């Protein structure tokens, strides 16, 4: 079986909802990182055999296969195909896993995988009436959350919890307090601030041209965050006590991509691999405890790889919520010092389709900087799933 290698990656800065990237279309964000990955690898773009991109919304400017649009907009030859996948929060990670699987199967040698989301530009959608000339149906914001819920699913207890409700459920199950959640959020901002000041993200990021100038830095960080300020925020869920806007990730815009290559392509084109894909895993679990998805996914990935938790030198865990992040760290017995050392989604942001690929781009840099032999990227997924990807530095 062929091996799959990650040659290099690039990402945009993560923009706030309605922030610096609000005027940039998601297909343009995707095209930017696709083109940058090709440029950094210094390869003929015509050699790319497929673009696989994740996107969670796909209801607006990212419609009709944004992966294909990204390739065309990036100037790749018309013969380079593209496919868009959707696993909600883990869409970008699934794109990378699928590319690695294709290469291992011998179906391709060079692929670009990643993800994109503009939660700012995600449109409103409205149900069409079932009868001609009837009044318009319900309207929904596609930025996040449920829409057009199937009544049969809604009838299942807790199955259609909001994301915040699932985070409260995990806090209740694992006895996580408001103070613990707020302290975790504060640390995310502190670590992200230190990473930005140290220039840790500079090589990951490709600047995004906008009407107001080039955007080069992640926008979500709040340097003035304090425990006192976090404690003053009201819970999001009615009757809840732990989850607030301060200890949860935000709505964001961004895109990330990685070049995935076979060993043969690495040799033939003189590429420099940064990591080997060891294994990827995705799992399902009860929707109301979706935040625990990384626990099950990581356990499955470790079992398949023959590795142990102690073998992992760097871990990127998507911080959808502080409560579920804390629960995953405790249940897996992770060393907190190697989890999200440069901060996580609570500080940096969570542009849904991009986040899984962003984790991997950041993990590659961390593994090199911290001399980690193996690394893990893992995340929870709405409606009760989890994904994990284990890499080996080469």
The catalytically annotated residue of 189, 200, 350, 374 is 350
| 80-107 per-position pLDDT tens digit | 999 999 999 999 999 999 999 999 999 9
In a domain, 107, yes or no: yes
pTM over 0.75: yes
- The one-character DSSP state at 185 is H
Task: Specify whether 328 is catalytic.
Answer: no
Return d(Cα 2, Cα 24) in angstroms, integer: 38
In a domain, 219, yes or no: no
pLDDT over 70 for what percent of the chain? 100
Task: Specify whether 89 is catalytic.
Answer: yes
Structural domain boundaries enclosing 78:
4-122+250-393
The catalytically annotated residue of 89, 200, 328, 374 is 89
In a domain, 108, yes or no: yes
Q: 178 to each of 240, 291, 295, 317, 338, how far by Cα in Å? A: 10, 17, 22, 20, 23
In a domain, 385, yes or no: yes
For the chain, the domain total comes to: 1
Beta strands in the chain (DSSP E): 4-11, 15-16, 50-54, 82-85, 110-118, 124-126, 139-141, 208-210, 213-215, 252-262, 275-284, 314-317, 374-381, 385-393
In a domain, 378, yes or no: yes
Tell me which residue of 66, 89, 376, 86 sits closest to 98, measured CA to CA. 86
In a domain, 23, yes or no: yes
Query: DSSP for 260-289?
Result: EEEHHHHHHHT----EEEEEEEEEE--GGG
Query: What is the chain's alpha carbon radius of gyration, rounded to the nearest angstrom?
Result: 20
Task: Specify whether 380 is catalytic.
Answer: yes
In a domain, 326, yes or no: yes
137 pLDDT exceeds 90? no
| 263-297 per-position pLDDT tens digit | 999 999 999 999 999 999 999 999 999 999 999 99
Burial class (CB in 10 A: 0-12, 13-18, 19+), 299: middle
Residues 130-150: b if buried by 16+ CB within 10 A, e if exposed: eeeeeeeeeebebbbeeeeee
- Are 347 and 191 in contact by the 8 Å Cβ rule? The answer is yes
In a domain, 259, yes or no: yes
| 164-214 per-position pLDDT tens digit | 999 999 999 999 999 999 999 999 999 999 999 999 999 999 999 999 999
Q: What tokens does 355 get? A: 């986040």
CATH number, domain of 275, equals 3.40.47.10
Return d(Cα 317, Cα 73) in angstroms, integer: 32
């Amino acid at each position: 079986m062929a091996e799959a290698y990650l040659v290099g990656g690039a990402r945009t800065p993560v923009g706030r909802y309605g922030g610096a990237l609000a005027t940039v279309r998601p297909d343009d964000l995707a095209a930017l990182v696709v083109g940058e990955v090709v440029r950094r690898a210094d390869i003929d773009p015509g050699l790319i055999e497929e673009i696989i991109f994740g996107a969670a919304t796909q209801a607006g400017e990212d419609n009709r296969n944004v992966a294909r649009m990204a390739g065309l907009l990036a100037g790749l030859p018309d013969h380079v195909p593209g496919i868009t996948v959707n696993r909600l929060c883990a869409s970008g990670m699934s794109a990378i896993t699928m590319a690695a699987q294709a290469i291992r199967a011998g179906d391709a040698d060079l692929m670009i995988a990643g993800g994109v989301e503009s939660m700012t530009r995600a449109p409103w959608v409205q149900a069409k009436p079932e009868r001609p000339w009837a009044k318009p149906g319900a309207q929904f914001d596609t930025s996040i959350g449920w829409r057009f819920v199937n009544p049969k699913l809604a009838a299942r207890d807790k199955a259609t919890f909001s994301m915040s409700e699932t985070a409260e459920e995990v806090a209740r199950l694992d006895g996580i307090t408001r103070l613990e959640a707020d302290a975790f959020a504060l640390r995310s901002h502190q670590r992200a601030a230190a990473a930005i000041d140290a220039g840790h993200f500079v090589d990951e990021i490709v600047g995004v041209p906008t009407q107001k100038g080039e955007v080069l830095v992640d926008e979500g960080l709040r340097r003035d965050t304090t425990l006192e300020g976090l404690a003053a925020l009201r819970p999001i869920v009615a009757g809840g006590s732990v989850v607030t806007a301060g200890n949860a990730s935000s709505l964001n815009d961004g895109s990330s991509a990685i070049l995935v290559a076979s060993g043969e392509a690495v040799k033939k084109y003189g590429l420099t691999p940064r990591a080997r894909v060891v294994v990827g895993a995705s799992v399902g679990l009860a929707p109301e405890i979706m935040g625990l998805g990384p626990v099950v996914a990581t356990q499955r990935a470790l079992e398949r790889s023959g590795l142990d938790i102690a073998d992992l030198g760097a871990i990127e865990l998507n911080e959808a919520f502080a409560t579920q992040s804390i629960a995953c760290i405790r249940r897996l017995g992770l060393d907190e010092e190697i989890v999200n050392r440069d901060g996580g989604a609570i500080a940096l942001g969570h542009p849904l389709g991009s986040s899984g690929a962003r984790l991997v781009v950041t993990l590659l840099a961390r593994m090199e900087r911290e001399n980690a032999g193996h690394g893990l990227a893992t995340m929870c997924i709405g409606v009760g799933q989890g994904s994990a990807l284990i890499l080996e530095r080469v």
